[in-house]
Amino acid sequence: MEMDTIAAVATPMGEGGIAVIRVSGSESLEIVDKIFRGKQQLSTVDTHTIHYGKLVEPDKNEVVEEVLVSVMRAPRTFTREDVVEVNCHGGLVSVQRVLELILSSGARLAEPGEFTKRAFLHGRIDLSQAEAVMDLIRSKTDRAMKVALSQVEGKLSRLIRDLRQLLIEAMAHIEVTLDYPEHDVEDFTQNLLRNKCLEVKKEIGVLLRTANQGKILREGLSTAIVGRPNVGKSSLLNSLVQEEKAIVTDVAGTTRDVIEEYVNVRGVPLRLIDTAGIRETEDIVERIGVEKSRKLLQQADLILIVLNYNEELQADDYAIFEAAKGLPVVLIINKFDLPQKIDLEEVKKHFPDQPLVMTSALQERGIDLLEEAIAKIFFSGRVEQGDMTYVSNARHIHLLKQAAAAMDEALVGIDDHMPVDMVQIDIKKAWELLGEVIGESVGDDLIDQIFSQFCLGK
Ligand code: GDP
Ligand code: ZN
C-alpha cells in the first residue's frame, strides 16, 4: 500500500518545553533531509537512532531551530512506515515554523487520527485498538484514559481472540462429528459444545456488564445540578472542578483539547448537561412546570439537588423533589457553615434511599464527601478493579450483544438436540460477530481456518 507522507504536531500545542513533530511515510527521511543539517544525512543513518542538528530554510540556509531527530524505519514503527520525529522547542511559534518547513518540503498535514488509521491499514493494530486510540484522544479523565490504554495495548482484542478460539474449537468438533458420525460421538459432542458455548456466553456477559461503566467513562456521567437561585450551585461546581483537566498522551499523532463541560470527580467525568438550559436550573420548575422538568431531568444519569441549610424548605424545593422523584439523586445540603433552618427529616422523607451530604462551598467543606457519594453511584457498590477490561464502544457493545444472542440460540439448539450442523450456524455467527469487533474480515474460508489450527483425529 503506497501512501503519501504525512506530518503533524504530536504533542499538545503551546505547552511544555519540547514539542514533537511526527512525519510518517515512505518519503519522510528524504523530506526532512532537505531541511536538516547534521553530521550525517538522515537517509544514511541506522534505524531507531537519534541525531542532533539544525533545521534550515533550504533556499536561504537560515537556521530555524536546533533539533533532535529520531529516525525509525519501517516496519518497526507505529504506522509501519518510515517515521521521523523532530523534537524542537515547545513554543508555539517555533513549532509552527518547523511544521511549515516540513510541509513545504513535501509532506502533507495529517488528518486527525491519520497515523492511527495507517497503523490499522498496515495491520499494526486491529480495529478495536484503533478505536481505543480514538477514545484515548478523547478521554476526559485519567481513569477513562487507563481504560482506553488497556484497549490500545490489546487487552480487549486478546479477550475477543480467546473467545473466538473457543468457538473455533467447538466448530472443529462439529466437523469431526459430521465426518465421522459414530453414534456415541454425539453425547460427547453435545456436552463439549454446551460447555464451550456456556463459557463464551459467560465471558461476553462479563464484558457487557462493564459496558455501562465503560460508556460513562467514555462519554461522562450526564449530570444536572438543580436548585433554587443562590443555594450555591455555581460555587459547588467550582469546588468540584479540578486542575488536572488536560491530560497529555504520547500516542502517535494525538493531542487533546480541554473540554470545559466536564468535571472530573475521582476519575469519573461528569458531563454537565445543558438541555434547554438545565445545566444550572435555577428556576426550571417554575418556568416550565414539574412535568416538563421531570422529562428533562430524566435525560440525566445523575441529578444533584442543592438545598440551603440556612433556609426552610420552600414550594420550589418541593417542586424539584417532585420532578426528581425516583431518579438517581444526590442531595446536597449547602451552606452548612450557617445556622440550620432546613428540616432534614422532611428531606429524608422524600429521599429515604438517596445519599445526602452536607457541604459548605464557601469553606470548601464536605466536598470530599460529595465526591465520594458520586463515585459510589458510578461504581454502584462494586469494588474498583484497576485492570478490568471495559467495553465502552457502542459498536463493540452492539456486536457483543448480538454474539451473546447467537450463543443463546446455539445453547437452545444443543439442549433441544438439534442437528449439530444447525447449531454450527449460530456458533459461526457468534464467531463472525466477535471478529467484527477486532475488524477481522469474515470472508476467510472457515473450514481452512479450522483445519489449519487443528489436526483432525487429534
Ligand atoms: P447559585 O445561584 O445556586 O449558583 O449560587 P451561587 O453559587 O452563585 O452562590 C450564591 C451565593 O451564596 C454566593 O454569594 C456564594 O458566595 C454564597 N455561597 C455559596 N455557597 C455557600 C456556602 O456554603 N456557605 C455560605 N455561607 N455561602 C455560600
Ligand atoms: Zn449559579
Domain residue limits, the chain: 6-119, 155-210+392-453, 222-379
Q: What is the pLDDT of residue 254?
A: 36
Q: What is the pLDDT of residue 181?
A: 61
Quote the CA–CA distance of 430 and 413 in Å, as a whole number.
14
Residues 295 and 273: beta-carbon distance below 8 Å: no
Q: How many angstroms separate the Cα of 256 from the Cα of each of 163, 242, 339, 393? A: 34, 17, 45, 19
Q: Determine which residue's CA is closest to atom 9 belonging to ligand 1.
A: 232
Q: Residue 49 pairs with which residues in a beta bridge?
A: 71
Place of cell 497529555: 248
End-to-end CA distance of the chain: 40
pTM, two decimals, is 0.54
Report for 10-14, 229-233, 282-286, 429-433: range of highest mean pLDDT: 429-433
Answer yes or no: is the C-beta of 366 below 6 A from any ligand 1 atom: no
User: Which helix (DSSP H) or strand (DSSP E) does residue 222 occupy?
Assistant: strand 221-226
Q: Determine which residue's CA is closest to atom 25 belonging to ligand 1.
A: 335
| Residue 427, pLDDT above cutoff 70 | yes
In percent, the amount of the chain with pLDDT more than 90 equals 34
Q: Show Cβ contacts of residue 146 under 8 Å, excluding neighbours closer than 6 positions.
A: 386
User: What number is the average pLDDT over the span 38-46?
Assistant: 94
Residues 208 and 385: beta-carbon distance below 8 Å: no
Quote the CA–CA distance of 406 and 414 in Å, as a whole number.
12
Domain 155-210+392-453: what homologous superfamily? tRNA modification GTPase MnmE domain 2 (1.20.120.430)
Q: Show Cβ contacts of residue 105 under 8 Å, excluding neighbours closer than 6 positions.
A: 31, 32, 34, 35, 58
| Residue 237, pLDDT above cutoff 90 | no
How sure is the predictor about 136, in pLDDT bands with cuts at 50, 70 and 90? low
| Residue 446, pLDDT above cutoff 60 | no
Q: Phi/psi of residue 7, each to 5°?
A: -145, 150
Q: Show Cβ contacts of residue 351 under 8 Å, excluding neighbours closer than 6 positions.
A: 321, 329, 331
Quote the CA–CA distance of 227 and 69 in Å, as a whole number.
56
CA of 237 to the centre of ligand 1 (A): 11
CATH domain 6-119 topology: Gyrase A; domain 2 (3.30.1360)
Q: Determine which residue's CA is closest to atom 17 belonging to ligand 1.
A: 232
CA of 234 to the centre of ligand 1 (A): 7
Residues 377 and 302: beta-carbon distance below 8 Å: yes
Report for 3-12, 47-56, 298-307, 442-451: range of highest mean pLDDT: 47-56
Alpha carbon 229 to its chain's center: 36
Residues 233 and 184: beta-carbon distance below 8 Å: no
User: What number is the average pLDDT over the span 295-306?
Assistant: 84
Q: What is the pLDDT of residue 70?
A: 94
Answer yes or no: is the C-beta of 151 below 6 A from any ligand 1 atom: no
Quote the CA–CA distance of 22 and 253 in Å, as a whole number.
7
| Residue 2, pLDDT above cutoff 70 | no
Considering the domain 222-379 in this protein, what is its CATH number? 3.40.50.300
For ligand 2, an ion, list residues with CB under 5 A. Answer: 233-234
Q: What is the pLDDT of residue 457?
A: 20
How sure is the predictor about 244, in pLDDT bands with cuts at 50, 70 and 90? very low
Q: Phi/psi of residue 368, each to 5°?
A: -65, -35
pLDDT, one tens digit per residue, over 175-219 is 877 776 655 556 777 888 899 999 999 999 988 877 766 666 666
Q: 36-38 and 49-57 as β-strands: parallel, antiparallel, unpaired?
A: antiparallel
Domains 155-210+392-453 and 222-379 share a fold: no
CA of 282 to the centre of ligand 1 (A): 13
Ligand closest to Cα of 304 equals 1
- H helices of 220-354, in order, are 233-240, 284-297, 315-324, 344-350
Q: What is the pLDDT of residue 275?
A: 39
| Residue 397, pLDDT above cutoff 70 | yes
User: What number is the average pLDDT over the span 417-446?
Assistant: 79
CA of 418 to the centre of ligand 1 (A): 68
When computed from its CA atoms, the radius of gyration of the chain, rounded to whole angstroms, is 29
Q: Which of 225, 226, 233, 235 to mutate to test the pocket of ligand 1 (most atoms within 8 A of CB)?
A: 235
How sure is the predictor about 135, in pLDDT bands with cuts at 50, 70 and 90? low
Is the model more confident about 237 or about 5? 5
CA of 283 to the centre of ligand 2 (A): 11
